Amino acid sequence: MANFNRRSFMKASMATAALGVAAACSQQGVKPTGAAPAAKGKSVMGLVVPAMAEVRVGLIGVGERGVGYISHFSQIEGARITAICDTDPQTLQRARGLFDKMAKPQPAYFGDSPDSYHQLLARQDVDIVVIATPWALHHPMAKAAMLAGKHAFVEVPMALELEQMWDLVDTAEATQRNCMMLENVCYGRDELMVLNMVRQGLFGELLHGEAAYIHELRWQIKEIERKTGSWRTFEEARQNGNLYPTHGLGPVAQYMGINRGDRFDFLNSVSSPAIGRAEYAKREFPADHPRNQIKYTCGDINTSIIKTVQGRTIMLQHDTTTPRPYSRHNLIQGTNGVFAGFPNRIALETGGRGGSYHEWDMDMTPWYQQYDHPLWQRMGREAERNGGHGGMDFLMCWRLIYCLRNAEPLDQDVYDGAAWSAVLPLSVASVADRGNSRDFPDFTRGLWQKTKPLGIVGG
Ligand SMILES: NC(=O)c1ccc[n+]([C@@H]2O[C@H](COP(=O)([O-])OP(=O)(O)OC[C@H]3O[C@@H](n4cnc5c(N)ncnc54)[C@H](O)[C@@H]3O)[C@@H](O)[C@H]2O)c1
């Protein structure tokens, strides 16, 4: 009788649970996060590829972002740009002009059709492909690059949907190629210094982080024919959530050793009303302008909370609409104290510079002297000279070329790109479901438990 009751109870519970899952998945805007699909190859965690004497670079997309890669890779010893693809003739013309100005040999150019990038991928003189195109093209282009035998370096976010992220993980594993998302902020001087501080135990045991992309970009909707606003405006209108999570989150994830000893478990996300963009369009365009026909659905301020498997929390915000100063928050709190960015400040219980932890120490000079990351100590001056968000862009390019030429694993892998980008679809699903939680997939398929946190590298 006892057995019968237990069996009946379990059957009933399983049926109820199945109904619950079906109901949850059928809620508006809620997509199933999906269990890990069967792996199609060996893990690429810590992938090392044979050292390349010279790294031959193909660039796809040399618009507002990609144009910077022309000058960065042209300045790095051991790197050579051999091919460029962009569908905009004016943008290709600008690229040609830059090579003339630098007195460097012209690469091969492509861009007659949206599929021309396949011609670039077919070339034998391309080892790595750097993709700086609109978001929706990241997944197909990165996948095609790996299938063509190239290593893919793709702008943020790595992809838009969880299925696409799994697909890039699976393709990287099947082809044993790198697929690195180009999260340049991980190479900022402050972020590298904080990583160094964290690894030296300055903050004690880590408890909580805060990250953001707060950057007023309403003006981009005036870009109609070309440039970022010509496509990003429609992304801002398409869905409601955190559309651009990785700049603030990447460094905090590295401090916490996400995918290397810890892992994002779930998130909850809520959005404020979406008012600012419609108001801006009304103010800046005639009433019958196409920009006034768009329904701007993304909430002006999105706030998510991520819980990690080790129990830590991360507060993450997205706001490209409201009039306020730029911030990525960049806050890390441990049992011994806290660092916060924008503006930089630090408060410690022990190991501080005399003051109490009730007050911020705002003078960063001595902290830089003591804790500047070895990479920044070696390359910081050159990085600042070459520019790109205070040098972080150049340093990222320099570092990835260094790793490829010295047979070292890259600092960010396909699992990082997937986990950090997953906030986008998960936040959209959570917002549509009254902020109820959504689980992160484990893109590492369990390997996060065995992998060591990113080290402090000298380069
Ligand atoms: N990491 C950063 O700091 C940072 C900063 C800005 C932008 N970005 C990212 O860079 C990417 C590009 O943004 P952007 O501001 O340069 O946009 P953009 O519109 O200025 O540039 C995109 C380029 O892609 C080209 N393109 C479009 N379809 C193509 C195709 N099928 N084949 C080849 N080229 C094609 C366009 O002609 C354009 O020149 C985005 O993913 C964005 O999120 C990153």
What is the C-alpha separation between 180 and 414, in angstroms, rounded?
Answer: 5
Ligand 1 centroid to residue 156 C-alpha, Å: 10
> In the structure encoding, which two tokens stand for residue 118, read together?
């396949």
Say if residue 323 is preceded by a cis peptide, omega within 30 of 0: no
CA 137–ligand 1 middle distance (angstroms): 9
Alpha-helical (H) ranges within 122-256 are 138-147, 162-175, 189-199, 229-238, 246-256
What b/e readout covers 438-451, taking b as 16+ CB neighbours within 10 angstroms?
bebbbbbbebbeeb
Nearest to 294 by CA among 225, 231, 228: 231
Q: What pLDDT was estimated at residue 264?
A: 98
**Residue 20's pLDDT is what?**
36
Residue 420 · residue 209 · CB < 8 Å: no
- What is the model's pLDDT at position 455? 84
Report the run of H or E that residue 436 belongs to, with start and end: none
Q: Which residue ranges have their beta carbon within 6 Å of ligand 1?
A: 60-61, 63-66, 85-88, 91, 111, 114, 117, 132-135, 137, 155-156, 184, 227-228, 389
pLDDT value of residue 454 = 87
pLDDT at residue 17 in the model = 36
Predicted TM-score of the model (pTM)? 0.93
The alpha carbon of 399 and the centre of ligand 1 are apart by a number of angstroms equal to 22
pLDDT of residue 265: 98
| CB-side neighbour CA atoms (13 Å) of 124 | 0
Return d(Cα 254, Cα 242) in angstroms, integer: 20
What domains appear along the chain, each with residue ranges and CATH number? 48-182 (3.40.50.720), 186-386+409-450 (3.30.360.10)
Question: Is 226 in contact with 86 (CB distance < 8 Å)?
Answer: no
- pLDDT score of 156: 98
Within a 10 A sphere around the Cβ of 344, how many other Cβ atoms? 18
Q: What is the pLDDT of residue 11?
A: 38
Residues of the chain with pLDDT under 70: 1-34, 458-459
- Scored b (16 or more CB within 10 A) or e, 33-52 reads beeeeeeeeebbbebebeeb
Closest by CA to 44, choosing from 160, 131, 168, 127, is 168
Looking only at the bridges linking them, the beta strands covering 128-131 and 345-348 are unpaired
Cα(358) to ligand 1 centroid in Å equals 44
Token digits for 158? Answer: 């790595």
DSSP-derived secondary structure letter, 338: E
Q: Which atom of ligand 1 is nearest to the CA of 244?
A: 43
Q: What is the phi-psi region of residue 103: left when phi exceeds 0, alpha when psi lies from -120 to 50, beta otherwise?
A: left
In a 13 Å sphere around the CA of 373, the CA atoms on its Cβ side amount to 24
Atom 6 of ligand 1 has which residue's CA nearest to it? 65
For residue 179, what pLDDT is reported?
Answer: 98
Give the residue among 235, 244, 228, 245 at the shortest CA–CA distance from 296.
Answer: 235
Question: Token digits for 303?
Answer: 């706030």
